[in-house]
Chain A
């Protein structure tokens, strides 16, 4: 029997009230992402990409449908998401357009914090965070505060923080939007590497059409619905070489 998908979104709806009208941000979206898979989620502004990411990341409950992570039904319309904080900490890593690093912590402290929050002893947390950053070519920047790092370096620190607790699911919202095309591709290639070596599922919301070839497949959203699913065989090849 094959393992369950890391992320399984089943017939999810998300409705928002706006005055007298109801806006359907997501309308019956279903999606499975497996281990080692990098999936792009694209679509025009207002198509529901970010809403899908919030629901997948257990930051908002669906109005209908359910979310399963590693086979566990964790989110549904009646779910208390605040009680899922520990689950989120251990299963999901987030990366955003802005690195969102804590400005008063150094690079290594930003990463170690994610571990300490998970009750890893400070010394061990710092050592692991240092090794993680070194693996992302930031070994020389451990003690720099975010303000002293370039945009690309900050984003790599954010990636390290997202990976610190070895989550099975990585969710990235426009992670390359603030980077130039070369650095943007480097980050996406990093995701491919992470998916391959850590067997994590990676979902990347992006506007960047130039990056689509780096995904295993792309899901396109339009008006809250899945419009198209495109497979990119070349991406798998790119990720494995």
Chain B
């Protein structure tokens, strides 16, 4: 006779509510871990998807993600001249806030070096990639734009021709892909007052009118280099770096910079909070299981009185503890899958993390069982009479 199952079936509502409580704790733990994974995934998304072997950035800097970078708008042609370089694409990315129907929207405008790069690497879920050098955009759904919609950026209107899902920058803003030339035009938008001030500062004349009071010689942040398969990456790096005005970063270096420099504090913060949450979860689950044992002390005394071996009592407590843990984890996983898609930032639940959390729950349940079992074994049979 399985006493644990009998008790659970008899007190099903209590068990379900308890498991639901544990499930919410599990969901919170999974959410924190998933948020961490999501931030890392978002940060690495563009680096991994864009498929560059090397990033040529401003000299003495480690841009464009961990710090600012501006290079010559013709740098791609210089890079293409290096032996072993298969292709070089200009890259630009900046945050842009704009109004639609009276509502402020945010996007991370990302330039594609059209026509060399029409953005076929972008996972488009609706619509098509860019087909024109101007006034077309591919937008992530998280921005809130619709397919075919026109959006006013800088001084021009752009038609949304394609939609993506989950393409965001490190800050969680959805990516809005336009051509590099359009991105530069959007970035160089100036107010009339700004132009007047620039003219006054540099003297009247048509050349001054095109200059800004804010230094913005180039909006190109980097050149993305794709290497021929047989080439030695170090040779290309040395050749480009020898120019002195640029720095070359490999894909691995970019990833390392993002994770261990720019996002380091955020990652540690989330991990620390996750650890605290796991400790709290452990304490609460332990207390729940201990209290369940305490509720059954009279029955445990009765079992002892009728001669039950300790193993009967140990199995009953351990089974209940592990069932609560397992159901809590299962319900928590279900709740996570239901709830987290509605969160504004990506919450990534990986099977490996769920497995690790399962192991943590098993350890917590084992410790909680031991507490309950040690209390139960101290119960004397004659306590039935009390």
Contact = CB atoms under 8 A, between A and B. Distances in A.
Contacts of A100: 298, 302, 384
Given A50-B385, A60-B382, A116-B1, A105 B6 contact: yes
How would you classify the secondary structure of chain A's contact residues: helix, strand, loop or mixed?
Answer: helix
A89 B381 contact: no
Task: Using C-beta atoms within 8 Å of the partner chain, give the interface range for chain A.
Answer: 20 to 34
A90 B306 CA distance: 9
Contacts, number: 65
Given A96-B385, A104-B7, A104-B9, A85 B299 contact: no
Contact of A103 (B10, B306, B384): B10
A59 B305 CA distance: 8
Contacts of B11: 104
A24 B384 CA distance: 23
Contacts of A103: 10, 299
A94 interface: yes
B13 to A, nearest CB: 13
Nearest to A147: B10
Contacts of B303: 102, 117
Contacts of A118: 307
Interface stretch (A107-115, A179-187, A196-204): A107-115
Contacts of B272: none
Interface string A35-63: 00000000000000010001000011000
B312 interface: yes
Given A54-B382, A96-B384, A102-B299, A88 B1 contact: no
Contact of A173 (B299, B302, B304, B385): B385
B86 interface: no
A145 B1 contact: no
Contacts of B304: 85
* Chain B, interface SS category: helix
B308 interface: yes
Nearest to B9: A104
B309 interface: yes
Interface string B281-322: 000000000000000001100111111110010000000000
B382 A112 contact: no
Contacts of B380: 59
Given A86-B307, A89-B306, A118-B307, A145 B10 contact: yes
A161 interface: yes
Contacts of A59: 305, 380-382
A109 B305 contact: no
A113 to B, nearest CB: 6
Most interface-central of B9, B302, B309 (chain A CB within 10 A): B302
Contact of B309 (A60, A85, A125): A85
A71 interface: no
Nearest to A58: B381
Nearest to A105: B6
A117 B302 contact: no
Interface string B307-346: 1110010000000000000000000000000000000000
Contacts of B7: 104
Given A60-B382, A100-B384, A94 B10 contact: no
Nearest to A116: B1
Contact of B306 (A50, A60, A113, A122): A113
Contacts of A109: 1, 6
Nearest to B6: A104
Interface in A122-142: 122, 125
Nearest to B302: A100
A156 to B, nearest CB: 16
Interface in B369-386: 380-382, 384-385
A54 B381 CA distance: 10
Contacts of A145: 10
Nearest to B5: A104
17 contacts: A50-B385, A59-B382, A89-B307, A94-B384, A96-B384, A100-B298, A100-B302, A102-B299, A104-B3, A104-B7, A104-B11, A105-B1, A109-B1, A109-B6, A116-B1, A117-B312, A122-B1
Given A59-B381, A102-B3, 18 more contacts: A50-B385, A59-B380, A60-B382, A85-B307, A85-B308, A86-B307, A86-B309, A90-B307, A94-B384, A96-B384, A103-B299, A104-B10, A104-B11, A113-B1, A113-B3, A114-B306, A117-B308, A145-B10
Interface of A: 50, 54, 59-60, 85-86, 88-90, 94, 96, 100, 102-105, 109, 112-114, 116-118, 122, 125, 145, 161, 165, 173
| 4 A-B pairs with the lowest CB-CB distances in the bound complex, closest first | A89-B307, A104-B10, A104-B7, A59-B382
Interface of B: 1, 3, 6-7, 9-11, 298-299, 302-309, 312, 380-382, 384-385
